[in-house]
C-alpha cells in the first residue's frame, strides 16, 4: 500500500514529506493507522546527529497512537480496530531483563535506532526500491506503519488519541522517573531542571508522590508559569540567577532530596548534583548528545556527600502496565494530558514543529493525521 511519511535523508537537514510503499504485516506484526504523534527531543537528536542512527533514509517519530487495521499471522492479544499506543522500546518478553520485570532494559533496546525491524528486514520502501528505516522500530510520522506486536500497547478507546500518544514516551518517562526510579517520598523536596514534555511529567510524578516542595527550573518564563499548573511549588529562571544558590535558599541550605535533569547537558547535570542534599539522588533523564563523555562532578564529593547518581529511561517502567495505568489516572483527573498539548501540526508542518520545540514554544507539540 501507499502511505505518506516524514523521512530523514541527510543528517541536519529538514524532514522530507513523501509517499512510500508499505509492506503487509509479517508474522507477529500489526499495521496501524496513525492518528497522532508527539514531537520529542529524541527524534531531534537523531535528526541533527546528536544521536547517531544506523541508516538513512529513516522515517522519524516514536511517540504515537493510532488504530490497528491489519494483523499478521500469530498476533496475540491485539485485534483489528483496537486503539494502541506505540512503545519506543519493545518488550520481547524473553531476555534476561524482560524476565526480571525490567522490559525498559530489553535486549532489543540497542536496535531501535538502526532502521530495520528486529528480523533485519524493512517494511517501507521508496518507489525506486530503496529500503527506508523506522526510528525506534516505529516510524510513527507516517499515515500508516507496520510494527512488531511487542511495540504496541492496547489502550482504552475512550481516551482521545491526540493525548493518548503522549503516554508512549514523555508521560511514562517523566512520571515513571519520579515514581519508579527515584521513588520520591511524601513530604520530600524535588528539583526538575527543564520543563518541556519530559520535565513537566516529572513534576506530575512528584506531585503524585506527594512531594511537598517541587522546584521547576528553566530559561523560559512561560514554561515556568505552565509548570505551576502541573504541580510546581517554586520556579527558577536559570538565566536570572544562580540555580544552586536559589535551590539552597528555598530548602533552608540543605538542597533537595531528589534532583532531575531533563535537559541533556553535562553542565546542568552538574548543577543538579550541586543542588542535591547529602544522601540525595540525582536522576538524569534527558538523552545527552553522544559526543559528551564526562560530567563536571567531583568523585571526592560523590563519596563525601554519599549522593546517588542514576539514569532513567522510559521511566524505569513496564510500559505495557504503565500506559493503561496512566490513562486510567487521566480519566480520574489525577494527571493532566490535554494541557500538555500546546499546539497541533499537520504532517506537512512537522519541521516547523521541531523549530518550535527547540525555541521552547511548546510543552508538547503534536502532529495530527
Grid cell, residue 140, equals 510513527
The beta strands (E) that lie in the chain are given as 2-8, 16-22, 29-38, 58-59, 63-71, 83-86, 124-125, 131-134, 144-148, 152-155, 189-193, 213-218, 234-237, 256-261, 276-284, 308-311, 341-345, 364-368
Domains of the chain and any CATH numbers = 2-168+336-368 (3.90.180.10), 174-312 (3.40.50.720)
pLDDT of 236 strictly over 90? yes
Pairing of strands 152-155, 256-261: unpaired
Query: How many Cβ atoms from other residues are within 10 Å of residue 105's Cβ?
Result: 17
CB 199 within 8 A of CB 261: no
- Counting residues of the chain whose pLDDT is more than 70, the rounded percentage is 100
- Sorting pLDDT into bands at 50, 70 and 90, what band is 52? confident
Q: What is the dihedral of CA 304, 192, 170, 210, to 10 degrees?
A: 90
Closest CA to 59 of 151, 178, 140: 140
Predicted confidence at residue 286, as pLDDT, reads 84
pLDDT at 9: 96
Q: Are 77 and 100 in contact (CB under 8 A)?
A: no
Given this model, what pLDDT does residue 361 score?
94
Average pLDDT over residues 47-64: 92
* End-to-end CA separation in angstroms for the chain: 17
| pLDDT score at 92 | 85
pLDDT over threshold 90, residue 148: yes
Q: Whole-angstrom Cα distance, residue 76 to residue 78?
A: 6
Largest CA distance in the chain: 65
Q: Tens digit of pLDDT for each residue in 1-41?
A: 999 999 999 999 999 999 999 999 999 999 999 999 999 99
Alpha-carbon torsion (215, 276, 198, 173), positive or negative: negative
- In this prediction the pTM is 0.95
Backbone angles phi and psi of 317, in degrees to 5: -120, 160
Q: What is the pLDDT of residues 68-116, one digit of tens each?
A: 999 999 999 999 999 999 999 988 889 999 999 999 999 999 889 999 9
Q: Look at strands 364-368 and 341-345 and give their pairing.
A: parallel
Residue pair 287/88 in contact by the 8 Å Cβ criterion:
no
Write out the catalytic residue numbers. 40, 42, 45, 62, 169
Distance CA 202, CA 191 (A): 10
Query: Band of the pLDDT at 154, cuts 50, 70, 90?
Result: very high
Contacts of 62 (CB under 8 A, 6+ apart): 37, 40, 42, 43, 86, 88, 135, 136, 138, 140, 168, 169
Q: Give the CA distances from residue 216 to residues 80, 176, 187, 259, 361, in Å, rounded to whole numbers and listed in that order.
A: 42, 17, 17, 10, 17
Tell whether the torsion through CA atoms of 277, 278, 281 and 282 is positive or negative: positive
pLDDT of residue 199: 97
Grouping H, G, I as helix, E, B as strand and the rest as coil, residue 256 is: strand
- The per-residue pLDDT for 150 is 93
Compute the average pLDDT of residues 130-148: 97
Q: What is the pLDDT of residue 264?
A: 81
H-type helices in the chain, by residue range?
41-48, 96-99, 161-164, 170-176, 197-208, 221-229, 243-250, 266-274, 299-305, 319-331, 350-358
Flag the least confident range among 43-52, 81-90, 301-310, 339-348: 43-52
- Phi and psi at residue 357, in whole multiples of 5°? -60, -50
Instruction: Return the DSSP state at 169.
Output: T
Amino acid at each position: 500500500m501507499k502511505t505518506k511519511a516524514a523521512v530523514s535523508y541527510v543528517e541536519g537537514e529538514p524532514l522530507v514529506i513523501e509517499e512510500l510503499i508499505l509492506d503487509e504485516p509479517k508474522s507477529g506484526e500489526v499495521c496501524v493507522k496513525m492518528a497522532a504523534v508527539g514531537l520529542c527531543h529524541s527524534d531531534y537528536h537523531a535528526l541533527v546527529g546528536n544521536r547517531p542512527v544506523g541508516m538513512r533514509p529513516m522515517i522519524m517519530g516514536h511517540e504515537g497512537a493510532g488504530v490497528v487495521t491489519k494483523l499478521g499471522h500469530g498476533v496475540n492479544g491485539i485485534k483489528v480496530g483496537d486503539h494502541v499506543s506505540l512503545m519506543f522500546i519493545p518488550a520481547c518478553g524473553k531476555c534476561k531483563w524482560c524476565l526480571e520485570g525490567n522490559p525498559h532494559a530489553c535486549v532489543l533496546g540497542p536496535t531501535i535506532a538502526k532502521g530495520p525491524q528486529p528480523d533485519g528486514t524493512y517494511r517501507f520502501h521508496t518507489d525506486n526500491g530503496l529500503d527506508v528505516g523506522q526510528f525506534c522500530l516505529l516510524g510513527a510520522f507516517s499515515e500508516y506503519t507496520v510494527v512488531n506486536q511487542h511495540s504496541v500497547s492496547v489502550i482504552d478507546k475512550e481516551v482521545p488519541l491526540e493525548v493518548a500518544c503522549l503516554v508512549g514516551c514523555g508521560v511514562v518517562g517523566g512520571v515513571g522517573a519520579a515514581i519508579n526510579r527515584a521513588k520520591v517520598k511524601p513530604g520530600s523536596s524535588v528539583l526538575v531542571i527543564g520543563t518541556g514534555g519530559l520535565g513537566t511529567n516529572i513534576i506530575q510524578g512528584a506531585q503524585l508522590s506527594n512531594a511537598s516542595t517541587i522546584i521547576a527550573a528553566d530559561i523560559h518564563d512561560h514554561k515556568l508559569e505552565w509548570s505551576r499548573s502541573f504541580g510546581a511549588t517554586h520556579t527558577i529562571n536559570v538565566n536570572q540567577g544562580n540555580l544552586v544558590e536559589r535551590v539552597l535558599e528555598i530548602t533552608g541550605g540543605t538542597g533537595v532530596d531528589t534532583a532531575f535533569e531533563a535537559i541533556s547537558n553535562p553542565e546542568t547535570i552538574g548543577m543538579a548534583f550541586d543542588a542535591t542534599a547529602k544522601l540525595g539522588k540525582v536522576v538524569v533523564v534527558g538523552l545527552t548528545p553522544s559526543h559528551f563523555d564526562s560530567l563536571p562532578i567531583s568523585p571526592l564529593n560523590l563519596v563525601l556527600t554519599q549522593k546517588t547518581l542514576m539514569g532513567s529511561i522510559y521511566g524505569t517502567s513496564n510500559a505495557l502496565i504503565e500506559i493503561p495505568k496512566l490513562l486510567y489516572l487521566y480519566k480520574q483527573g489525577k494527571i493532566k494530558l490535554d494541557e500538555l498539548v500546546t499546539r497541533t501540526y499537520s504532517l506537512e508542518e512537522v519541521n516547523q514543529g521541531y523549530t518550535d520545540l527547540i525555541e521552547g514554544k511548546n510543552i508538547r507539540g503534536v502532529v495530527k493525521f
